[in-house]
Amino acid sequence: MDTVHIFDTTLRDGEQSPGFSMNVEEKLRLARQLEQLGVDVIEAGFPIASPGDLQAVRGVASEIRGCRVAALARARKQDVDAALEALQPARQPRLHIFLATSDLHLRYKLRITRAEALEAITSMVRYGREGCPEVEFSAEDASRSDVEFLCDAFAAAKDAGATILNIPDTVGYAVPEEYAMLFHRVRERLGDPAGITLSAHCHNDLGLAVANSLAAVRAGARQVECTTNGIGERAGNASLEEIVVALAVRQASFGVRTNVHLEKIYSTSRLLSSITGVAVPPNKAVVGANAFAHEAGIHQDGIIKNPLTYEIISPEAVGVPSRQLVLGKHSGRNALRLELKELGYETSDAELTECYRQVIAVADQTKQVRKRDLLAIVHQVLRKRPAAAAAAVARDTPAAT
Ligand code: KIV
Ligand code: ZN
């Protein structure tokens, strides 16, 4: 089975978005976690951007041994020199050079011709290869580029020594079929040479970053660039956890694997939000607080009988501590019985009915019933029991949260 390599750019594309900046020590902490998570490449920063960025890439390059460390550079000599300097201590360095290929960017941003762009790609990839054994070339704004010129750019990069060719949807403009077609066209034009990996890099402006990345995998991409919690420029980058879990849950359909340890996904997500202070939205797929929470009574009943009824992946598989049955006014008696049992209380039918009545009353006012509300209710209901019977059923009560 083919492996799709995961290129995590949380520390570069993610970090450069507002509210997500990290200092050197924080970047190092996250890099260690990403190494444990099993990503194949950590893009640690853009060294020419600031001395702090150069220092952070250097720090990550010095410490991380279990995966590749990449540094970004524009197709300019001073950028490439800064990236090579930062990568110098890396065991497995990767130089990542980019240049825009859309006419829009060439004409208005870079003010160069297509011929000048090809010349810059050739000379900078060749120069970079002299200082680094592995070079990736990204054609910025690829999805809005003329496809034949895009192929010319990749052919130039490949001939100059790049072995990873990245096709970014820089502004999140592509839709899945169209994005997949780019991969088919580039493969057709380059003839699928051995030793060349095509890579996807998607932004989420239309909410399609993950769908586009998966379409690229079907079309032959064997590296996907993404970020933890989907952070990144504007609406973010493709979310690492969503891609990796989709490829795992639907492995029979995609026929590929990744090297990511799924059970470390949740702790990685939490570490990033604790470092940046930015919370994960509750409805975020895979790592949001509600991703495995079930409030509707029918759903709770189904989950208790067989989790597969309403869950396509177990929370434990991605490292979420334990399934949460949220008690609210849509909850059922079965969920309440289970929750009480987990807290150490066996109730008679009559006691359960009384607890249930009170839970619904609290939920009507507060929407959700917290563990400490539930404990107050059950204690009050059990107080009406004869003392001996109460002692027989109440076990140690865990601390309320
Ligand atoms: O979105 C983009 O085009 C990028 C490149 C630098 C890879 O982030
Ligand atoms: Zn990007």
Task: Quote the pLDDT of residue 43.
Answer: 98
Instruction: Please enumerate in sequence order all residues whose Cβ is within 8 A of that of 307, keeping only pairs 6 or more positions apart, or say none.
Output: 314, 323
Q: Assess whether 45 and 156 both reside in one domain.
A: yes
Indicate if ligand 1 lies below 6 Å from the C-beta of 232: no
Tally of structural domains, the chain: 2
Q: Assess whether 249 and 303 both reside in one domain.
A: no
Q: What is the pLDDT along the chain (401 residues), one digit of tens a residue?
A: 999 999 999 999 999 888 999 999 999 999 999 999 999 999 999 999 999 999 999 999 999 999 999 999 999 999 999 999 999 999 999 999 999 999 999 999 999 999 999 999 999 999 999 999 999 999 999 999 999 999 999 999 999 999 999 999 999 999 999 999 999 999 999 999 999 999 999 999 999 999 999 999 999 999 999 999 999 999 999 999 999 999 999 999 999 999 999 999 999 999 999 999 999 998 999 999 888 888 788 888 888 888 899 889 999 999 987 666 678 778 888 889 988 887 778 889 999 999 999 999 888 888 778 777 888 888 888 888 765 454 444 433 333 33
Q: Is residue 124 part of a domain?
A: yes
Ligand number, closest to the Cα atom of 72: 1
Measure the CA–CA gap between 295 and 281, rounded to whole angstroms: 18
Q: Is residue 390 part of a domain?
A: yes
Q: Which residues surround ligand 2, an ion (CB under 5 A)?
A: 13
Indicate if ligand 1 lies below 6 Å from the C-beta of 168: yes
Task: Quote the pLDDT of residue 344.
Answer: 78
Which of 241, 276, 311 finishes a domain?
A: 276
CA–CA–CA angle 161, 166, 168 (5° rounding): 150
Mean per-residue pLDDT of the chain: 92
Instruction: Please enumerate in sequence order all residues whose Cβ is within 8 A of that of 3, keeping only pairs 6 or more positions apart, or say none.
Output: 222, 256, 257, 258, 259
User: Are 74 and 105 in contact, with CB atoms under 8 Å apart?
Assistant: no
Ligand 1 atom at shortest distance from the alpha carbon of 203: 1
Structure tokens at 237: 């980058």
Q: Is residue 285 part of a domain?
A: no
Task: Quote the pLDDT of residue 42.
Answer: 98
Task: Quote the pLDDT of residue 386.
Answer: 66
Task: Quote the pLDDT of residue 401.
Answer: 31
Q: Assess whether 38 and 99 both reside in one domain.
A: yes
Which of 276, 303, 324 finishes a domain?
A: 276
Task: Quote the pLDDT of residue 323.
Answer: 64
Q: Count other Cβ atoms within 10 Å, centred on residue 162.
A: 26
Q: Cβ-count burial of 245 within 10 angstroms (0-12 exposed, 13-18 middle, 19+ buried)?
A: buried
Q: Is residue 286 part of a domain?
A: no
Q: Is residue 114 part of a domain?
A: yes
Task: Quote the pLDDT of residue 220.
Answer: 98
Q: 384 C-alpha vs ligand 2 centroid, how far in Å?
A: 63
Q: Assess whether 82 and 207 both reside in one domain.
A: yes
This prediction has a pTM of 0.86
Q: Assess whether 187 and 237 both reside in one domain.
A: yes
Would the CA dihedral through 119, 225, 70, 272 be positive or negative?
positive
Q: Is residue 215 part of a domain?
A: yes
Task: Quote the pLDDT of residue 295.
Answer: 79
Indicate if ligand 1 lies below 6 Å from the C-beta of 9: no
Q: Assess whether 320 and 352 both reside in one domain.
A: yes
Convert 292-319 to b/e letters by CB count within 10 Å (16 or more is b).
Answer: bbbbebebbbbbbeebeeebebebeebb
Length of the chain, in residues: 401
Measure the CA–CA gap between 227 and 239, rounded to whole angstroms: 5
Which of 249, 276, 303 finishes a domain?
A: 276
Q: Assess whether 242 and 161 both reside in one domain.
A: yes
Q: Is residue 126 part of a domain?
A: yes
Q: Assess whether 272 and 297 both reside in one domain.
A: no
Task: Quote the pLDDT of residue 328.
Answer: 79
Task: Quote the pLDDT of residue 387.
Answer: 55
- Which residue from 140, 145, 150, 205 has its CB within 8 A of the most atoms of ligand 1, so it is best to mutate? 140
Indicate if ligand 1 lies below 6 Å from the C-beta of 143: no
Nearest to 398 by CA among 339, 310, 357, 312: 339
Q: Assess whether 344 and 198 both reside in one domain.
A: no
Q: Assess whether 198 and 243 both reside in one domain.
A: yes
Q: Assess whether 119 and 159 both reside in one domain.
A: yes
Residue range 31-60, pLDDT digits in tens: 999 999 999 999 999 999 999 999 999 999
Task: Quote the pLDDT of residue 122.
Answer: 98
Q: Assess whether 51 and 149 both reside in one domain.
A: yes
Q: What is the CATH number of the domain that holds 256?
A: 3.20.20.70
Q: Which domain holds residue 153?
A: 2-276
Nearest to 368 by CA among 278, 290, 316, 283: 290
Structure tokens at 104: 């829009």
Of all helices (H) and strands (E), which one includes residue 63? helix 51-63
Structure tokens at 76: 């300019």
Q: Is residue 284 part of a domain?
A: no
Give whole-number Cα distances, 144 to 122, 237, 301, in Å.
21, 17, 49
Instruction: Please enumerate in sequence order all residues whose Cβ is within 8 A of that of 275, keeping only pairs 6 or more positions apart, or say none.
Output: 22, 26, 29, 30
